[in-house]
Amino acid sequence: MCAGTGNELYVIAEGVLDRIRQSLRVPETGGILGVNENRLVTEFHFDNTGVTTKRIYVPDTESLNEVIREWSLRGIEFAGFVHAHPPNKKTLSAVDIRYAEKIKRYCALSEILMLLYLPADDSFHQYVL
């Protein structure tokens, strides 16, 4: 359900970035991202039922899988995750990487987009694994 091949960066629609900014105001919150056939990230779904603490974000996989199924019916493919990190944490954590790799294996994806958002400085950092 992932678009594209290789480790090319994704283009993210400005409206999606705006919705992420509005939703992920504190670290360790997140959601999923969807792409159209042109590899443009056009969809963001905020995970308002995921478990969050000051140190972790655990997605609500059951509800997110339902969103992914609905997107699929509209021709939108699941591309990956976005989550907010604390200030100065511009790279994926070891836990983030393990989680992404687990999803890739389970879903037989060739790649997964991991987008970090740092609300403290309104910056985005994109990783394709």
Q: What is the pLDDT of residues 58-103, one digit of tens each?
A: 999 999 999 999 999 999 999 999 999 999 899 999 999 999 999 8
11 φ, ψ (degrees, to nearest 5): -95, 135
User: For residue 94, what is the enclosing H or E element?
Assistant: helix 94-107
Angle at 54 between CA 50 and CA 57, to 5 degrees: 30
* Residue 126 · residue 113 · CB < 8 Å: yes
CATH architecture of residue range(s) 20-128: 3-Layer(aba) Sandwich (3.40)
pLDDT at 101: 93
For 35-65, what is each residue's pLDDT tens digit?
A: 998 889 999 999 999 999 888 899 999 999 9
Residue 109: band (very low, low, confident or very high) from pLDDT cuts 50, 70, 90: confident
Q: What is the model's pLDDT at position 38?
A: 87
CA angle 112/115/116 to nearest 5° reads 145
**Domain range summary for the chain, segments of one domain joined by +:** 20-128
